[in-house]
Amino acid sequence: MSNPLDADPTPCNQKSGMDFRDRGIYAQLLELMLNLQQTIGDHFVKLTTRQWQAQSLEEANRIQVVREQEDVINHTVCQMISLLWTEAAADQRLQESLHSLNSREVWKKSPSSRQPDQPVRQSSFQASFVSHVLSNRGVDISDFYQSHFQDYDAYQQDKYHEEKNPLGFLNLGVSENKLCVDLITERLCQNDMNCIEEDLLQYSDWRGHPLLREEVARFLSYYCRAPTRLDPENVVVLNGCCSIFSALLMVLGDPGETFLVPTPFYGGFTFVSHLYAKVELFPVHLESEITEENSEPFQLTVDKLEKALLEARQKEKKVRGLVLTNPQNPLGVVYSQDSLMEYLEFAKRHNLHVIIDEIYMLSVFDESIKFHSVLSIERLPDPDRTHVIWGTSKDFGISGFRFGALYTHNKEVASAVSVFGYLHGISGITQYKLCRLLQDREWIDTVYLPANHSRLRTAHKYVTKKLRALKIPFVNHGSGLYIWVNLQSYLKPCTFEEERALHRRFLDNKLMLSRGKSYMCKEPGWFRIIFAENHVPLKLAMHRFKQVLEEQNYDWMVKQLEEAMRE
């Protein structure tokens, strides 16, 4: 193992003859800390690279321990640098020195060259942005964002376009429905959508414009098959379902408290819960294997909920609620009404809130499957603790509209969530267009939904056919915009480190997928593929997908041959 002290302690940008005595103590310490950060970061990269080459399960576990140690040290060093920079910045005489240090961007230095089969992992020392402006909380938020969204930022700067950028990123990782852009565009361009009134240009009710809330209540009453007409006073609209989810966590739980979430689950929940509410999402781990307990892969049962709740309480967690998605993301499971009732009754027994996200409710394209909304249940076990989220991003393919709606029977909760409209409201013009769209029941039922379901079926059939040809197992459900695929046979050994490496290989080939670790999946090797894409880019994406797996297999065979020759 290399010794960090073997590295050259001289600052990389230090000019010949520079005298530290001419500079403040804070600036001197700051430069030393920046170099220490770089040295330790390089040390961890070399250490894990050496362990990675061993390829054993024991070494893979050791790598994970090293990663955790690295994160702890990095956090401490970042805090020290932030403090030193703040103190040094207060001295006007040191501005030139600080500018020189700031231009170095030591923490963004590119990793050294690697072997083709070695995973690309940008050290958190290299990825962290050290700021003399941000608070500790700001640094934490920034670091959390960078660690989760770097790939998405790269995609945004290099998107695939059939003519302008055919070598750009193909995105089968972000859940967006691009199959009916033509229909939605045509409908949004009709004359009834164009309205500019004074009322729409002013601040609206923080809960949302009354006309939109009334229409949302009518819309959900009809499509959720509610036994009685839903009350517009129980509706709150904000700029996206994640805003609704975040607001609910804020008003239902205090920092450090816990919500149960069956895994795998939508990774955005983790980011949202961390960003504002600071609540913990406690996993209810589900397994893929068919057993006496599991009649199907990743089956959620009340027994598993009870065990998770007991485990959380034994760890002295204060559990406030249960989070569900229906249809489930990323599995695509559509819960039966009996199952929903069992989950709701479990929550009532333990005085838990239930947040249920039904954002894919109109994206059930298998005609043999019937969707049951929680709002269709005539007698909810605990209506005051049952809260439903829905939006147009997935079902209508207009995620750019930034619209999410909450329906809760609890007017106290609705009132508390509506306060967030002050920060997360929707523009009046957008609310008007949404109102007109949701009002057009005839167009939705006779034009849009039939076409959308048909195109989803076609795209789903195309991708699943490709997966079967490659003999790749997958969870097959006829809802949502995604397929949950099992690539464990391509991981040798089957670890999360190998999963990360395969994910990076996809990115290196300009293909975005979502890996199982992002969904807190207990088992390494699962990936989510979005299929709601137009045929030309979808075909190219599946071609890149196949190429990556072929490269993965080839590199593994070469490695096996080299090891055999060494023996």
Report pTM: 0.79
Residue 186 has pLDDT above 50, yes or no: yes
* Residue 200: both structure tokens together: 């729409």
Among 310, 311, 313, 288, smallest CA distance to 299 is for 288
Higher per-residue pLDDT: 132 or 185: 185
Structure confidence at residue 359 (pLDDT): 98
**Which tens digits make up the pLDDT trace of 221-279?**
999 999 999 999 999 999 999 999 999 999 999 999 999 999 999 999 998 998 889 99
Structure confidence at residue 96 (pLDDT): 53
Structure confidence at residue 434 (pLDDT): 97
Q: Which of 70-79, 153-162, 419-428, 500-509 has the lowest mean pLDDT?
A: 70-79
Laid out side by side, the sheet with 514-515 consists of 474-475, 482-486, 526-530, 514-515
Structure confidence at residue 5 (pLDDT): 35
Higher per-residue pLDDT: 61 or 486: 486
CA-CA distance, 172 to 156, in Å (whole number)? Answer: 13
Q: How far is CA 128 from CA 123, 138, 140, 302, in A?
A: 8, 12, 9, 41
Q: What DSSP state is assigned to residue 15?
A: P
CB-CB contact of 234 with 408 (8 Å): yes
Cα 223 versus chain centre, distance: 27
Please give the average per-residue pLDDT across 63-84, as a whole number: 70
CA-CA distance, 378 to 371, in Å (whole number)? Answer: 15
CB-CB contact of 364 with 394 (8 Å): no
Structure confidence at residue 24 (pLDDT): 58
Instruction: Give DSSP secondary structure letters for 51-70.
Output: HHHH--HHHHHHHHHHHHHH
**Which tens digits make up the pLDDT trace of 81-118?**
666 665 555 555 555 555 555 544 443 333 333 333 33
In the chain, % of residues over pLDDT 90: 66
Structure confidence at residue 4 (pLDDT): 37
pLDDT band at 563 (very low <50, low <70, confident <90, very high): confident
Please give the average per-residue pLDDT across 315-341, as a whole number: 97
Q: Which of 104-113, 152-161, 277-286 has the lowest mean pLDDT?
A: 104-113
CB-CB contact of 360 with 320 (8 Å): no
CA-CA distance, 264 to 283, in Å (whole number)? Answer: 8
Higher per-residue pLDDT: 279 or 144: 279
Residue 394 has pLDDT above 50, yes or no: yes
Among 560, 478, 475, smallest CA distance to 523 is for 475
pLDDT band at 2 (very low <50, low <70, confident <90, very high): very low
Residue 291 has pLDDT above 70, yes or no: yes
Structure confidence at residue 59 (pLDDT): 65
Structure confidence at residue 155 (pLDDT): 92
Structure confidence at residue 131 (pLDDT): 58
In the chain, % of residues over pLDDT 70: 80
> 3-state DSSP call for residue 323?
strand
Structure confidence at residue 57 (pLDDT): 58
Residue 51 has pLDDT above 90, yes or no: no
Structure confidence at residue 240 (pLDDT): 96
Mean pLDDT of the residues in the chain:
86
121 φ/ψ sector (left φ>0, alpha ψ -120 to 50, else beta):
beta
Q: Domains for the chain: give ranges and CATH numbers.
A: 4-149 (no CATH), 157-179+445-566 (3.90.1150.10), 203-444 (3.40.640.10)
Q: What DSSP state is assigned to residue 492?
A: S
Please give the average per-residue pLDDT across 368-381, as a whole number: 96
Among 506, 504, 525, 508, smallest CA distance to 516 is for 525
437 membership: H or E segment, kind and range:
helix 428-439
Structure confidence at residue 269 (pLDDT): 93
CA-CA distance, 332 to 361, in Å (whole number)? Answer: 11
Residue 119 has pLDDT above 50, yes or no: no
Structure confidence at residue 46 (pLDDT): 64
Among 163, 179, 265, smallest CA distance to 531 is for 179
Higher per-residue pLDDT: 119 or 559: 559
Residue 441 has pLDDT above 90, yes or no: yes
Instruction: Give DSSP secondary structure letters for 362-416.
Output: T-B--TT-----GGG-SS-S-GGGEEEEEESTTTSS-GGG--EEEEES-HHHHHH
**Which tens digits make up the pLDDT trace of 533-552?**
999 999 999 999 999 999 99
> Do the strands 511-512 and 319-325 form a parallel or antiparallel pair, or are they unpaired?
unpaired
Please give the average per-residue pLDDT across 481-494, as a whole number: 97
CB-CB contact of 43 with 123 (8 Å): no
pLDDT band at 134 (very low <50, low <70, confident <90, very high): confident
Residue 567 has pLDDT above 80, yes or no: no
Structure confidence at residue 476 (pLDDT): 87
pLDDT band at 29 (very low <50, low <70, confident <90, very high): confident
